[in-house]
Amino acid sequence: MPIKIKVGDGYSDAFSDAVDVAFSRPGDRGRGAYRRQLFAADIAAGRMIAAYDGDRVVGTFANYENTVTVPGGAAIPATAVSSVSVAQSHRRRGILSSMMAASLRQSADAGEPLSILIPAEWPIYGRFGYGHATDEVCYRFDSRRCALERPLPGTVDYASATEWLQEAPAVYDRLRVATPGAVERRNQWWEREAGLLTPDGKPTDKDQLFALYRDESGTVRGTACYSVKGGDWSGFVADDQATAYFVAEDPVARVRLLQFLWEQDWITTFEVRRFPADDSWRHLMANPRMARETERYDVLWARVIDVVAALQARTYESEGRLVLAVTDPAGHAEGVYALEGGPSGASVKRTTESPDLTLPVQTLGALYFGHHAATALGRVGEVTEEKAGALALADRMFKTAVPPHCATWF
């Protein structure tokens, strides 16, 4: 029986359960009604894609509408791809390729210049034109050995989940405007993070603690939610461990929240996840070695669909002109483009000129948010320099003073 791809299929119970089985989370099955509540707008917009073998769902693909901040601060439409799965029993039949082709066509028809995703595995998505665009970092701290380089302003205090929910979105929105790669938080994201919206309707906010950092004017500039795991208290030796997540607008806010954790009684070590790759905040610590990077992993991958719209939407660190020949087997981004850009904006048009650089669409996605240097990608054959000096110029234009970061998994 041939596999059928259905675009606009709803988030049925079978679709929901297929996602959980594919990601080896069978205990999460039965959450179809909960997810239909979360993604009602995307379901109504026809953004779900499913593969069927008869009546059985054997492939799932969500193509959520969102926006992403690009260098310069503009927020542009983007497809946020999620819930991608193919049943183990139906691999190597072209199911993912068919769903991906349908999703890119849907995005192109909707006028979305970019498609973004967070890949479960590295090797999969480069062949569909996605490039590695941001990283994030996990740090571990030894509370007993942490200290500030100098006193920092502001105050940190506990908050209830409700207070955190009232304050955190505004902090994140200010951070999002200033951070390339940041996306909108939709679908009751904050209520879920606070533990106030759960599949079984039973709040879990008491499983974690919340804190707010206020600057000297009293404005909340940073938030933390964290959980504490009790250690071995035999002999009354402190041995608790904590795991935290921050939303912080600047290095001072981030380090003041860290200080709040490392000065707590009983907590001897703690981890903070989803930190940006920018580690300038460590200079505010007396001994930055006490912030040990334990993990660094790729998060956001970007796929350029409309080259003109995407490159015109962002700004560039230095003035310059580049002619880019972009290859794209799917055809969406294929062409030669003349880019003239600088700190105040850019103009882009198709051209018949000889290119300065030739690159596949996945490399354009890797360059787009400023995470990679063109010269570094050139050294490993990801981009070809056709005119001397073009890679160095691309470095000056595409790299960003603010490192990109996508703090929101989707």
- The 10s digit of each residue's pLDDT in 82-131 is 999 999 999 999 999 999 999 999 999 999 999 999 999 999 999 999 99
- The answer to whether residues 166 and 285 belong to one domain is yes
- As beta bridge partners, residue 228 has 242
Q: What is the mean pLDDT of residues 67-90?
A: 97
Q: Is residue 345 part of a domain?
A: yes
Q: Are the C-beta atoms of residues 49 and 9 closer than 8 Å to each other?
A: yes
Say if residue 141 is in the same domain as residue 290: yes
**Over residues 354-363, mean pLDDT:** 98
* Assessment of whether the complete model's pTM goes beyond 0.85: yes
Catalytic site includes residue 64 = no
77, 112, 147 - which closes a domain: 112
**Calpha distance 239→232 (Å, rounded):** 6
Please report, in angstroms and rounded to a whole number, the separation of the first and last CA atoms in the chain.
33
Residue 10 pLDDT: 87
The answer, yes or no, to whether residue 4 has pLDDT greater than 70, is: yes
Residue 318 pLDDT = 97
* CA-closest candidate to residue 269, choices 156, 158, 138, 144: 144
Q: Which of 182, 205, 181 has the alpha carbon at shortest distance from 193?
A: 205
Residues 98 and 179 in one domain: no
Shared domain check, 153 and 85: no
Residue 199, pLDDT above cutoff 60: yes
Q: Is the pLDDT of residue 234 over 70?
A: no
pLDDT tens string 45-59: 999 999 999 999 999
Residue with the two structure tokens 């009604």: 33
97 in a domain, yes or no? yes
Closest alpha carbon to 148 in 252, 262, 285: 285
More confidently predicted of 126 and 230:
126
CA atoms within 13 A on the CB side of 52: 13
Let me know if 125 is a catalytic residue: yes
Amino acid 230: pLDDT = 82
The 3 state secondary structure assigned to the chain is: CCCEEEECCCCCHHHHHHHHHHCCCHHHCCCHHHHHHHCHHHHHCCCEEEEEECCEEEEEEEEEEEEEECCCCCEEEEEEEEEEEECHHHCCCCHHHHHHHHHHHHHHHCCCCEEEECCCCCCCHHHHCCEECCEEEEEEEEHHHCCECCCCCCEEEEECHHHHHHHHHHHHHHHHHHCCCCECCCCCHHHHHHCCCCCCCCCCHHHCEEEEEECCCCCEEEEEEEEEECCCCHHHCCCEEEEEEEEECCHHHHHHHHHHHHCCCCEEEEEEEEEECCCHHHHHECCHHHEEEEEEEECCEEEECCHHHHHHHCCCCCCEEEEEEEECCCCCCCEEEEEEEECCEEEEEECCCCCCEEEEHHHHHHHHCCCCCHHHHHHCCCCEECCCCHHHHHHHHHCCCCCCCCCCCC
Say what the pLDDT of residue 344 is. 97
Report the pLDDT averaged over residues 70-81. Answer: 98
Quick one: pLDDT at residue 343? Answer: 97
* pLDDT, the chain, mean: 96
pLDDT attached to residue 222: 98
Give pLDDT tens digits for 263-321.
999 999 999 999 999 999 999 999 999 999 999 999 999 999 999 999 999 999 999 99
**Residue 279 within a domain:** yes
Q: CATH number of the domain at 363, please.
A: 3.30.1050.10
Q: What is the pLDDT of residue 235?
A: 53
pLDDT category at 236 given cuts 50, 70, 90 is: low
Do 271 and 174 reside in the same domain of the chain?
Answer: yes
- pLDDT value at position 233? 60
For the chain, what percent of residues have pLDDT higher than 70? 98
Give the C-alpha separation, 313 to 73, whole Å.
9
Considering the domain architecture, whether residues 176 and 315 belong to the same structural domain is answered as no
CATH number at residue 148: 3.40.630.30
Q: Does residue 406 belong to any structural domain of this protein?
A: no
Given a cut of 70, whether residue 232 has pLDDT beyond it is no
The reported pLDDT for the residue numbered 409 is 94
Average pLDDT of the residues in 232-249 = 81
Q: Is the pLDDT confidence value at 237 over 70?
A: no
State mean pLDDT over 12-28. 96
Domain that holds residue 203: 136-296
- 7-35 burial by CB neighbour count: b if 16+ within 10 A, else e? bebbbbbebbbbbbbbeeeeebeebbebb
Residue after which a domain boundary falls, among 277, 296, 315: 296
C-alpha span between 71 and 69 (Å, rounded): 7
**Are 45 and 163 members of one domain?**
no
Whether residue 27 lies inside any domain: the answer is yes
What is the sign of the dihedral through the CA atoms of 249, 255, 256 and 262? positive
Would you say residue 131 lies in a domain?
no
Asked whether residue 117 is domain-assigned, the answer is no
Q: What's the CA angle centered on 14, arms 13 and 20, to 5 degrees?
A: 90
Distance separating alpha carbons of residues 357 and 370, to the nearest angstrom? 17
What six digits make up the tokens of 208? 């974690």
Residue 72 and residue 268: Cα distance in Å, rounded? 40
Length of the chain, in residues: 410
Q: State whether 39 and 100 are in the same domain.
A: yes
Domain shared by 343 and 207, yes or no: no
Same domain (yes/no): 288, 228? yes
Q: Point out the catalytic residue in the list 61, 64, 125, 246.
A: 125
pLDDT at 193: 95
pLDDT, one tens digit per residue, over 366-404 is 999 999 999 999 999 999 999 999 999 999 999 999 999
Q: Has residue 259 been placed in a domain? A: yes
- What's the total number of domains in the chain? 3
Do 262 and 287 belong to one domain? yes
Q: Of 296, 323, 346, which marks where a domain is finished? A: 296
Asked if 211 and 358 sit in the same domain, the reply is: no
